[in-house]
């Protein structure tokens, strides 16, 4: 196996490990894949600033990431492993991502199983592929969030929010959190990159509920107000390449990269990462007009 120097290396290696159809599903996006590309390119247009500000912390940056950080493990309702099987794999904070099927009784039973297994929250997400579309209720609306709140005591997070208007409605419906997501560019092409929508959602949320980002890039997202980041494709590809060892290595690489950037940015803890540490396209346009 080729040496792995970056998490992105796992994607190329996974191409030779996974069946073509499976790899294409994980790696590709909808239609012309514009949104899939834009998700990454939008991040690259955001620049880091304040490098080496307060360099005293650089002498001892190991452990800059707070000890109380933790991983959310979100299990899809389309998983080939059961709620109970995943729960027996070890400790962790688990969310259950539910697709709202037309059969509401099935939805309620799945949520009850998640509750009994100790899952901490429900993520209301979309279906994973057109193959399953006939089973999913396409008339899903905000009233279904209220229905979910009636049948479970678990916290409910809504995934797929991209605008201030939807943020406002989600909060009015009583959700416990928001995941800014365009579903990896897989569901609909030509929608905005998640990172470009993050600040709008964070401003509207006004610290009333946590706002997470579905996208995988850490420092820039935290600087723009994300409470945390969900990671998908790197987990899948590293597991495909080298199982648990691959996943552990990928997560450690992500952690190491974040610690280095924090150190060079003068951030002694996650709470020290602020908006001043990044410059966006809108910042540059605004300054050019002054």
Q: How many residues does the chain have?
A: 290
**94 with 118: CB under 8 angstroms?**
yes
- Counting Cβ atoms within 10 Å, is residue 149 exposed (0-12), middle (13-18) or buried (19+)? middle
Phi, psi of 231 (to 5 degrees): -120, 125
Contacts 24+ apart (CB under 8 A), 74-80: 74/123, 74/230, 75/119, 76/125, 76/128, 77/110, 78/127, 78/128, 78/132
Q: Which residues contact 3 (CB under 8 A, 6 or more apart)?
A: none
Catalytic residues: 183
Nearest to 215 by CA among 206, 201, 205, 207: 201
Residue linked to tokens 């514009």 = 34
């Amino acid at each position: 196996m080729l040496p792995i120097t970056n998490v992105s290396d796992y994607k190329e290696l996974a191409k030779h490990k996974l069946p073509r159809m499976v790899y294409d599903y994980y790696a590709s996006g909808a239609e012309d894949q514009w949104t899939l590309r834009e998700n990454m390119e939008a991040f690259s247009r955001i620049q880091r600033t304040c490098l080496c500000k307060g360099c005293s912390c650089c002498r001892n940056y190991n452990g800059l990431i707070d000890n109380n950080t933790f991983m959310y493990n979100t299990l899809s309702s389309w998983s080939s492993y059961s709620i109970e099987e995943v729960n027996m794999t070890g400790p962790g904070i688990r969310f259950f991502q539910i697709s709202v099927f037309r059969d509401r009784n099935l939805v309620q039973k799945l949520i009850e199983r998640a509750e009994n297994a100790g899952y901490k929250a429900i993520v209301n997400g979309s279906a994973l592929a057109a193959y399953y579309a006939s089973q999913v209720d396409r008339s899903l609306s905000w009233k279904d969030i209220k229905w979910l709140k009636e049948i479970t005591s678990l916290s409910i997070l809504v995934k797929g929010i991209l605008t201030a208007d939807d943020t406002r409605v989600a909060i009015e419906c009583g959700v416990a959190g928001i995941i800014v997501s365009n579903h990896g560019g897989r569901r609909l092409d030509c929608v905005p990159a998640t990172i470009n929508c993050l600040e709008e959602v964070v401003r509207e949320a006004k610290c009333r509920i946590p706002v997470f980002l579905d996208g995988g890039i850490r420092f820039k997202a935290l600087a723009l107000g994300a409470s945390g980041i969900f990671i998908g494709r790197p987990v899948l590809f590293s597991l495909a390449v080298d199982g648990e060892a691959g996943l552990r290595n990928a997560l450690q690489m992500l952690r190491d990269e974040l610690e280095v950037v924090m150190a060079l940015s003068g951030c002694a803890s996650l709470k020290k990462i602020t908006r001043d540490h990044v410059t966006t396209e809108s910042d540059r346009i605004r300054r050019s007009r002054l």
